[in-house]
Amino acid sequence: MNEFINKLYKNNATVYKILLFLVTVVAIVYLLPKGGQFKYEFKQGKPWQYNNLYAPFDFSIQKTKEEIALEKKQIKDNANQYFIVNTEVKEEVLKKLAEKINSLEVYDSLYTKKINSAFFIGKKIIDKVYKVGFIDDLGYKKVSNTKSIIELRNGNYVSSVPVSELFKSNEILPFITDNFKIFPDYEVKSVIINNLLDILKPNVSFDFNFTQKELNELLNNISYTKGKISKEELIILKGSVVDDKSYNILNSYKSVYKAKTLNNLDYKWIVFGYSVLVSLALLMILLFLKKYHIDIFNNNNKVTFILFNVFLMIFVQTLVVKYIPNYLYIVPLGILPIVLKAFFDARLGLFTHILTVLLLGFIVPESFEFIYIYIIGGIVTVLTISELYKRGNLFISIGRLTLVYILTYLAFSIIKEGNINGVNWNYFGMFAVNGLLSFLAVFFIYFYEKVFGLVSDITLLELSSTNSKLLRELNEKAPGTFQHSMQVANLAESAANEIGANAMLVRTGALYHDIGKMINPQYFIENQSTGVNPHNDLSPKDSAKIIIDHVIKGVELAKKHNLPDRIIDFIRTHHGTSLVYYFYKNEMDNSFDGEVDINKFKYKGPIPYSKETAILMMCDATEAASKSLKNPTAQSIDELIDKIIEKQSSENQFINSNITFREIEKIKKVIKSKLMNIYHLRIEYPE
Residue 276 reports pLDDT greater than 70: yes
Lowest mean pLDDT among 33-42, 277-286, 342-351, 591-600: 33-42
CATH number, domain with residue 530: 1.10.3210
In 3-state terms, what secondary structure has residue 73?
helix
Q: What is the pLDDT of residues 311-329, one digit of tens each?
A: 999 999 999 988 888 888 9
Same domain, yes or no: 209 and 113: yes
Overall average pLDDT of the 672-687 stretch: 67
Q: What integer is the mean pLDDT of 18-40?
A: 84
* Per-residue pLDDT at 465 exceeds 70: yes
In a domain, residue 319? The reply is yes
345 shares its domain with 493: no
Do residues 182 and 319 share a domain? Answer: no
Regarding whether 461 and 391 lie in a shared domain, the answer is no
Band the pLDDT of 278: cuts 50, 70, 90: very high
Kind of pairing, strands 204-206 and 157-162?
unpaired
Residue 71 has pLDDT above 50, yes or no: yes
pLDDT in tens, 544-572: 898 999 999 999 999 998 888 889 999 99
Mean pLDDT of 463-468: 86
Q: In which band, very low, low, confident or very high, does the pLDDT at 37 lie, cut at 50, 70 and 90?
A: low
Work out the mean pLDDT of the chain and round it to a whole number.
85
Give tens-digit pLDDT for 109-122.
777 787 888 888 88
Percentage of residues of the chain with pLDDT beyond 90:
29
Instruction: Tell me the average pLDDT across 372-380.
Output: 92
CA distance 84 to 157: 10
* Of 105 and 313, the one with more pLDDT: 313
Question: What residues make up the domain containing 421?
Answer: 2-34+265-431
Last residue of a domain, one of 155, 187, 218: 218
The answer to whether residue 66 is domain-embedded is no
Q: Does any domain span residue 182?
A: yes
Band of pLDDT at residue 107, cut at 50, 70 and 90: low
Same domain (yes/no): 517, 619:
yes
In a domain, 244, yes or no: no
Considering the domain boundaries, does residue 440 fall inside one? no
Give the Cα separation of 104 and 122 in Å (integer): 15
The predicted-structure confidence for 119-142, as pLDDT tens digits, reads as follows: 888 889 889 988 888 888 877 777
Q: What is the pLDDT of residue 439?
A: 87
pLDDT at 167 > cutoff 60: yes
SS3 content of the chain, % helix, strand, coil (to 5): 65, 5, 25
For 163-187, what is the mean pLDDT?
85
* Same domain membership, residue 477 and residue 426: no
Q: Helices 540-560 and 565-573 meet at what angle, rounded to 10?
A: 170
pLDDT of residue 646: 93
Residues 633 and 501 in one domain: yes
Indicate whether 443 belongs to any domain.
no
Q: Is the pLDDT of residue 682 over 70?
A: no
The pLDDT of residue 151: 85
Say how far apart CA 169 and CA 514 lie, in whole Å: 95
Kind of pairing between the strands at 82-85 and 149-154:
parallel
Which residues, in sequence order, are CB contacts of 656 under 8 Å at separation 6+?
606, 607, 608, 609
Q: Answer yes or no: do 270 and 388 share one domain.
A: yes
Whether 480 maps to a domain, the answer reads yes
Q: Choose the final residue of a domain: 185, 218, 251.
A: 218
Please report, for residues 273, 283, 371, 375, the alpha-carbon distance to residue 358 in angstroms, rounded to integers and kept in the order given: 15, 14, 6, 9
How many domains would you assign to the chain?
Answer: 3
Tell me the sheet residues that pair with 157: 154
Residues 581 and 536 in one domain: yes
Domain stops at, among 397, 431, 465: 431
Q: Would you state the pLDDT for residue 685?
A: 42
Higher pLDDT among residues 679 and 391, named by residue: 679
Residue 437 in domain: no
Q: Which residues pair with 153 in a beta bridge?
A: 84, 158
Q: Answer yes or no: do 538 and 605 share one domain.
A: yes
Query: Is 391 in the same domain as 498?
Result: no
Q: Is the pLDDT of residue 385 over 90?
A: no
Average confidence (pLDDT) over 386-411: 80
Q: What average pLDDT score do residues 1-13 get? A: 59
Cβ-based neighbours of 393, under 8 Å, separated by 6 or more: 385, 386, 387
Instruction: Give the Cα separation of 154 and 364 in Å (integer).
Output: 56
Kindly state whether residues 423 and 467 are assigned to the same domain. no
